Amino acid sequence: MGLRCGIDIVEISRIKKTLENQGERFKARVFTDIEIIYCESKKNNSVESFAAAFCAKEAVSKALGSGFSMGVEMKDIEVIHDENGRPSVKLYNNAERVFEEIGASQIAISLSHCREYATANCVIC
């Protein structure tokens, strides 16, 4: 199968504006309940956390080679965090199917954000 990678970057102001304009509708369409709870727990950095999770979904979809086609939806890719805050990814439905079809066995994700941008990098092998 080889290595597959995906990367994404987003302006945090874009996610902030979307959250202000679409609020709960945007959250419900893009994020799982676990992601919403995690991001909202970050209080002063919740917008940055939502932006990083959004980037992670994009990066994973690119690494899968499907993007958001082949039936893969945003909520099929879930970003979770361990007790130390380290992110990892759980796949569901069509994202999980594509992962299995490409013969992948591992997925790694790295997230970062600053005042203006959030980014994510994904490696699948």
pLDDT, tens digit (0-9, with 9 covering 90-100), for 37-78: 999 999 889 999 999 999 999 999 999 998 888 889 999 999
- Pair of tokens at residue 61: 């979809």
Arithmetic mean of pLDDT, 97-120? 96
- Pair of tokens at residue 118: 């959030």
- Overall number of domains in the chain: 1
Give the CATH number of the domain where residue 114 resides.
3.90.470.20
Arithmetic mean of pLDDT, 18-38? 96
Range of the domain at 80: 4-124
- What pLDDT sits at residue 67? 86
Query: Closest by alpha carbon to 112, among 48, 20, 19?
Result: 48
Query: Closest by alpha carbon to 77, among 112, 93, 27?
Result: 93
pTM exceeding 0.75: yes
